[in-house]
């Protein structure tokens, strides 16, 4: 069984390497294990945006914000 952390790490590496379809698959698998992780939804959105699937990406970014609406950069 692959852990969420492993899937997230793999997906991030795939994003860096330009393997957007593979990254998307990794993030979708991770989300299937934990649908309430805003970071996973954000990463899925990045993968979708990289694939030019903008409407789906926006849905993922919105889902991430819905789960965790606070601004992580203001503290």
Q: What is the pTM of this model?
A: 0.90
- Domains parsed from the chain with CATH numbers: 4-67 (1.25.40.10)
Q: What is the pLDDT of residue 2?
A: 81
Burial class (CB in 10 A: 0-12, 13-18, 19+), 49: middle
What 3 state SS string does 8-69 have?
HHHHHHHHHCCCHHHHHHHHHHHHHHCCCCHHHHHHHHHHHHHCCCHHHHHHHHHHHHHHCC
Other C-beta atoms within 10 Å of 61: how many? 18
Band (75; pLDDT cuts 50, 70, 90) = very low
């Amino acid at each position: 069984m692959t852990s969420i952390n492993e899937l997230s790490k793999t997906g991030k590496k795939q994003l860096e390497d330009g393997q957007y379809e593979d990254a998307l698959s990794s993030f979708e698998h991770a989300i299937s294990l934990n649908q309430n992780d805003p970071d996973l939804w954000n990463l899925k959105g990045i993968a979708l945006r990289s694939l030019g699937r903008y409407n789906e990406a926006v849905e993922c970014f919105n889902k991430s914000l819905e789960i965790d609406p606070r601004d992580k950069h203001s503290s």
